[in-house]
Chain A
Amino acid sequence: MTDTLKPRDGKDVEDAVRFALANDKPLELVGCGSKRAIGRPSQTDLTLDLSGLSGITLYEPEELVLSARAGTPLSEIEALVEKHGQELAFEPMDYGPLLGGKAGAGSIGGALAANLSGPRRIKAGAARDHFLGASVVTGRGETVKTGGRVVKNVTGYDLCKLLAGSWGTLAAMTDITLKTLPRAETESTLIVSGLEDAQAAAAMAAAMGSPCDVSGAGHLPDHVAARFDGLPGPGAATCLRVEGFAPSVAHRKQSLAAVLKPFGPVAVLDEKNSRALWRSVRDAKAFTFSDVLARPLWRVSTAPSRGHEIAAMISPAAQMFYDWAGGLVWIAMPSPQEPDAAAIRRAVASVGGHATLIRAPAAVRAAVDVFPPQDAGLAALSKRVKESFDPKGLFNPGRMWAGV
């Protein structure tokens, strides 16, 4: 039976951690719990539910800054900044439907702990690049502050970078500060139809190498394209997004069309369809349908020009698509119980990059590496870093790697 502690403020979190420390009770850290099924299953009988730490505490649009309690729903933050013509430029993806849950159910703390990003990653960065400051409770039960509320800051180590993508294994965030940015006035997407994966990689490289300031570049192969939104017709679609002020978007659309023309016929999506398309790409919508929901899902980051090589090395029965100009490959394996980790890791190792098993049954996640295995030196360093925050291994033990 799992007990849940639901603190109301930072002081409660300190108390909870001290209690866990004194009683040698590891804690599962959760915000809204929307990404709970990612990672190796943790063995804990106490859950620290941080969703009670909720509310936006500061928002100054002209200063491009927002602070909130860590358990604040991401949707609440996105709604507020949208009202002021701004956004979280890292375009945080929603893992909910991909994991069989609801859409829009995550917290900002969870978005940061998972270092979320989206198609705009190639231009605007990931959560890590917009995470300005935090208050956290470490595994010693101490509240530590890092960063600040200004973008330019090199005072002390940038602990926010470590917290981003630490999946709640280092500290419990209580308060966070983010950079907000103006939302683009409009957007449009150019679609090249019918390209093979390798041709698509070349088309995306040409687009990225143009001065058109492309903010989304993805390739949806024939076998999955119909499962994304906003596309004009059937067949493989290579998608390039431009965002910004209307006159600029109009101009860049033209220049980009000229760049893409040699690769194949080019269609144009209007703002509405473009938004729908990129939201579905962001959330890997093709793999949220019930007939594929049981398929183990890999998220692979590699050099953009090499993504299609990885895809070519694995089972033809796998489904896949590309984001980040070809550098992010989502791969759904055919057999529910068999993520084929060895083949994936081998393929990734041969071209460079890393693969994370985002979705698989708990028993599978307990048996194979979910996060990329590290060589001995890096693994030892990661373990020491973990211990520097959480010496007793209280937080989400084993979620990223066994023993960490």
Chain B
Amino acid sequence: MSLQIPPADRAVLDRREKIVAALRAIVPGEGVIAGEREMRPFESDGLTAYKQLPMVVVLPETTEQVSQVLAYCYAEGIKVVPRGAGTSLSGGALPLEDGVLLGMAKFNRILEIDFENRLAVVEPGVTNLAVSNAAAHAGFYYAPDPSSQIACTIGGNVAENSGGVHCLKYGMTTNNLLGCEMVLITGEVIRLGGKHLDAGGYDLLGIVTGSEGLLGVVTQVTVRLLKMPETARALLIGFPSSEDAGECVGKIIGAGIIPGGMEMMDKPAIHAVEQFVHAGYPLDVEALLIVELDGPQAEVDHLVARVEALARQCRVVSCKVSASEDERLLFWAGRKAAFPAVGRISPDYYCMDGTIPRAKLPQVLKRMRELSDKYGLRVANVFHAGDGNLHPLILYDANKPGELEKTEEFGAEILKLCVEVGGVLTGEHGVGVEKRDLMPAMFSEIDLNQQQRLKCAFDDKGLLNPGKVFPQLHRCAELGRMHISGGKLPFPDIPRF
């Protein structure tokens, strides 16, 4: 791999034994893992192309332990990489050779469910789905539903600002949080928010959400719960071209309808999926749209009829409305199995994650087909059509020499294309190590330096998850320097009063 990671600090590695002993004094028993074989499961996350054994793994159980571990690392100048379930697709939890891997898996308790105020207080190691399950008996759920929801943790969701197929209507993680407790690298414990809405001061919760483990370690999270919709129905609509599908999406939103979910697949994805799950997807279409309407029965029936009518105004090959809950789930079964289905037809696949203004979809797909020819690599597309979040899956074979590198190059071109048409590098998977070096395609050096100054406000020694998100690391002192010039009013033509 060509990835540049901050060089390992030999002085830290030389003290490894002493460090391990000190950590064992804080987290007793099996909470500190230092054996090579035992650390192996932690060497990588969902971005499996990158692997690195950490210096040591620590699995604390209490906020106090997290605080002491971080305070120790801060005092000793040791890097720390926080980790939830390790499902990151961008390498956000990739360990460092000279770093402590701080696994939060033991923070797995649901502390409180408060139906009166429609919220849950949970520890960060609780899985996303477990929160919904714990509230289900009273008819409530936690809205963000990343596709890894059976495995991914709330702490990881906060770090990545996770989305999911329903975030078009219900928002991403950041729109569904009320508060958190977190530990700064100094060991200081701070509480943000609570059971109430909005911050009383700066919205630090908003900045911590999606910060990819670079600002602090979350030890408790308060999430909002929503009442489950009464019912849901879905439409499965086939189109002769992606342009037609895109036009239909525009018509639906233009009619004032925000569906619970609106997912698109291109032909290669449809075919891979249909062979795998036999969901009854039409094979004679270029694009397939699943539109799900949820809410009260009367609303869903009304909107299903309206969406169907809108679809009929577009060029469609087929349009099917789910007649039962089983059929609705079958429509989704295909979409939800898209990644493994693609995994079946190719030894490896690389999942990308860019967002584009929706209207640019045909242009982006066309260019992607050209790139596919150029690189000689197949690509299948699944697309959160409502919000323009694109997941191209590049099919490759890691055993063929040079193919992974070629794939990464292809992926980088796709993401740059997303930025070029007015979109962004990542919609929900995070920058991590994966897209780190592409950041300059979207941000100037001034932009990135400002983001790093904010990082310095939380972590002045740059010890939390270094090597992620930012392509170039600067010392905080260097970033803080100012060059003030010019004492005169340099703009005499600005109106003054």
A interface residues, Cβ below 8 angstroms from B? 3-8, 12, 15-16, 18-19, 21-23, 49, 52, 60-65, 85-86, 115, 117, 121-122, 125-126, 128-129, 138, 140, 142-146, 148-159, 161-162, 164-166, 170, 181-183, 185, 205, 208-213, 244-245, 247-248, 250-252, 255, 301-306, 324, 327-328, 352-356, 371-372, 374, 377-378, 381-382, 384-389, 391-392, 400-401
CB of B487 within 8 A of CB of A23, answer yes
CB of A385 within 8 A of CB of B486, answer no
Q: A22-B486, A126-B198, A148-B423 are in contact. Are A213 and B295 (CB under 8 A)?
A: yes
CB of A181 within 8 A of CB of B210, answer no
Main secondary structure of the interface of B (DSSP, over half): loop
Kindly identify which residue among B188, B209, B384, B487 contacts A158, using a CB–CB cutoff of 8 Å: B209
B interface residues, Cβ below 8 angstroms from A? 114-118, 138-140, 160-161, 163, 167-168, 171-172, 174-175, 184, 188-192, 194-207, 209-211, 227-230, 250, 253-254, 256-258, 295-299, 301-303, 355-359, 384, 387-389, 422-431, 435, 439, 442-444, 446-448, 450-451, 453-458, 469, 480, 482, 484-491, 494-497
| Total inter-chain residue pairs, C-beta < 8 Å | 314
Q: How far is the CA of A128 from the CA of B296 in the complex (A)?
A: 28
> Chain B residues with Cβ under 8 A from A149's Cβ?
357, 422
> Chain B residues with Cβ under 8 A from A303's Cβ?
114, 117, 194-196
CB of A388 within 8 A of CB of B388, answer no
Kindly identify which residue among B200, B359, B439 contacts A63, using a CB–CB cutoff of 8 Å: B359
Q: How far is the CA of A12 from the CA of B242 in the complex (A)?
A: 44
> Chain A residues with Cβ under 8 A from B497's Cβ?
3-4, 6, 49
CB of A182 within 8 A of CB of B425, answer no
CB of B174 within 8 A of CB of A301, answer no
Kindly identify which residue among A143, A252, A353, A374 contacts B194, using a CB–CB cutoff of 8 Å: A353
Q: How far is the CA of A117 from the CA of B114 in the complex (A)?
A: 24
Kindly identify which residue among A161, A245, A354 contacts B299, using a CB–CB cutoff of 8 Å: A245
CB of B457 within 8 A of CB of A152, answer no
> Chain A residues with Cβ under 8 A from B480's Cβ?
391
CB of A155 within 8 A of CB of B442, answer yes
Measured between C-beta atoms, what is the minimum distance from B162 to chain A in Å?
8
| CB closest residue in chain B, given A392 | B482
Q: How far is the CA of A355 from the CA of B199 in the complex (A)?
A: 10
Measured between C-beta atoms, what is the minimum distance from B80 to chain A in Å?
18
CB of A150 within 8 A of CB of B203, answer no
CB of B256 within 8 A of CB of A185, answer yes
For the A-B complex with A182-B258, A385-B204 known, give 8 more contacts whose Cβ atoms are closer than 8 Å. Answer: A115-B203, A150-B355, A153-B426, A157-B210, A162-B202, A165-B202, A385-B202, A389-B453
> Chain A residues with Cβ under 8 A from B256's Cβ?
85-86, 182-183, 185
Kindly identify which residue among A150, A211, A306, A386 contacts B388, using a CB–CB cutoff of 8 Å: A150
CB of B457 within 8 A of CB of A384, answer yes
> Chain B residues with Cβ under 8 A from A18's Cβ?
484-486, 490
CB of A388 within 8 A of CB of B484, answer no
CB of B302 within 8 A of CB of A161, answer no
Q: A152-B172, A302-B196 are in contact. Are A142 and B358 (CB under 8 A)?
A: no
Measured between C-beta atoms, what is the minimum distance from A5 to chain B in Å?
6
Q: Closest 8 interchain pairs by CB?
A: A161-B206, A354-B200, A248-B299, A182-B256, A372-B200, A251-B298, A303-B195, A152-B427
Kindly identify which residue among B140, B160, B207 contacts A154, using a CB–CB cutoff of 8 Å: B160
21 contacts between A and B (CB under 8 A): A15-B490, A22-B485, A126-B198, A128-B203, A129-B171, A144-B450, A154-B430, A155-B435, A156-B442, A161-B174, A182-B253, A248-B302, A251-B296, A251-B297, A304-B117, A305-B116, A327-B117, A371-B200, A378-B190, A382-B204, A391-B480
CB of A385 within 8 A of CB of B454, answer yes
| CB closest residue in chain A, given B205 | A161
Q: How far is the CA of A385 from the CA of B435 in the complex (A)?
A: 26
Measured between C-beta atoms, what is the minimum distance from A359 to chain B in Å?
17
Q: How far is the CA of A210 from the CA of B141 in the complex (A)?
A: 13
Q: How far is the CA of A212 from the CA of B229 in the complex (A)?
A: 9
Measured between C-beta atoms, what is the minimum distance from B466 to chain A in Å?
15
| CB closest residue in chain B, given A160 | B206
> Chain A residues with Cβ under 8 A from B189's Cβ?
377
CB of B447 within 8 A of CB of A144, answer yes
CB of A352 within 8 A of CB of B195, answer yes
Q: A212-B296, A391-B482 are in contact. Are A154 and B359 (CB under 8 A)?
A: no
CB of A247 within 8 A of CB of B302, answer yes
CB of B174 within 8 A of CB of A388, answer no
CB of A245 within 8 A of CB of B201, answer no
CB of A129 within 8 A of CB of B175, answer yes
Measured between C-beta atoms, what is the minimum distance from A216 to chain B in Å?
14
Kindly identify which residue among B198, B388, B469 contacts A165, using a CB–CB cutoff of 8 Å: B198
